[in-house]
Structure 1
């Protein structure tokens, strides 16, 4: 018997992949406007963002929500 595939859109997607995808799509400035945290506003990098997001659940939830909205919008177009 095989397991059903996960319906969770975040399944198998790392936090690094999420940050990179959002930074490529919105740019760091656009990302900082949508999620106003210092790691996106001042000298942003994937590394500094990952450190902050792993320690800050509310910011990680916002970033994941933004990623889910992006994925949903791309599927609809």
Structure 2
């Protein structure tokens, strides 16, 4: 396995990212930040993972939101 010292997401699974964002923002908060159906209607980690794995633009937004949360865990955004 190659080292990725400049990748802050290296070793963090998408499931971990979605779970931590949901715990911090809630599903409604996630839906306000990334407007996708899997966060608005009958949300679950499973449905979010399925959608995000197939949709690169949404995954990029979720990863950026997670990085923002890591950099400012107590701020609003």
CA distance in 1, matches of 2:4, 2:54: 29
RMSD, aligned α-carbons: 2.1
Residue-pair matches, total: 74
Compare CA radii of gyration and give the structure with the larger one: 1
CA contact (8 A) 2:4 2:10 kept: no
Match of 2:29 in 1: 30
Consecutive unaligned residues of structure 2, counting only runs of 5 or more, are none
The 5 Å alignment of 1:1-40 reads 6-40=5-39
**Structure number with higher helix proportion:** 1
Which segments of structure 1 move beyond 6 Å, counting only runs of 4 or more? none
Consecutive unaligned residues of structure 1, counting only runs of 5 or more, are none
TM-score for both structures, normalised by structure 2? 0.88
CA shift, 1:74, in A, is 2.7
